[in-house]
């Protein structure tokens, strides 16, 4: 399903959650390996997301949920928050 802005939205909530989980885990591993955050394009390419706008969609959702933070327009400022680590990396839910 497409939104009015041309962003592809996953057909199921489960697919969206799986994609966001992969993104958070990728950010954590990338930061661990390189010492800085990946770019949105690196996330798209390495995870295999079909478009950069879909990466933005998922990261905006994660930011609204408090799982990641970043400064729009600033390169490599992406960070996974404590709640993001609890939700996606450790498998523990921050809000049961």
Q: Which residues contact 67 (CB under 8 A, 6 or more apart)?
A: 20, 24, 80, 81, 83, 84, 87, 88
Indicate whether this model's pTM tops 0.95. no
Q: Read off the pLDDT of each residue in 38-60 and give the average, rounded to a whole number.
A: 94
Structure confidence at residue 1 (pLDDT): 43
Report residue 35 as tokens: 């010492």
Quickly state the pLDDT bin for 96 (edges 50, 70, 90). very low
Quickly state the pLDDT bin for 31 (edges 50, 70, 90). very high
Q: Read off the pLDDT of each residue in 55-59 and give the average, rounded to a whole number.
A: 94
- Output the CA–CA distances (angstroms, integers) from residue 22 to 15, 53, 88, in the order listed: 11, 16, 8
> What domains appear along the chain, each with residue ranges and CATH number?
13-89 (1.10.10.10)
Question: Is the confidence at residue 6, as pLDDT, over 80?
Answer: no
* Helix (H), strand (E) counts: the chain: 4, 2
């Amino acid at each position: 399903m497409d939104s009015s802005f041309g962003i592809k939205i996953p057909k199921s909530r489960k697919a969206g959650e799986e994609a966001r989980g992969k993104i958070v885990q990728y950010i954590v591993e990338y930061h661990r390996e390189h010492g800085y955050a990946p770019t949105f394009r690196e996330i798209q390419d390495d995870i295999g997301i079909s478009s950069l706008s879909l990466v933005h969609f998922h990261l905006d959702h994660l930011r609204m949920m408090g799982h990641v933070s970043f400064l729009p327009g600033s390169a490599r400022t992406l960070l996974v928050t404590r709640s993001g680590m609890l939700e996606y990396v450790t498998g523990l839910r921050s809000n049961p």
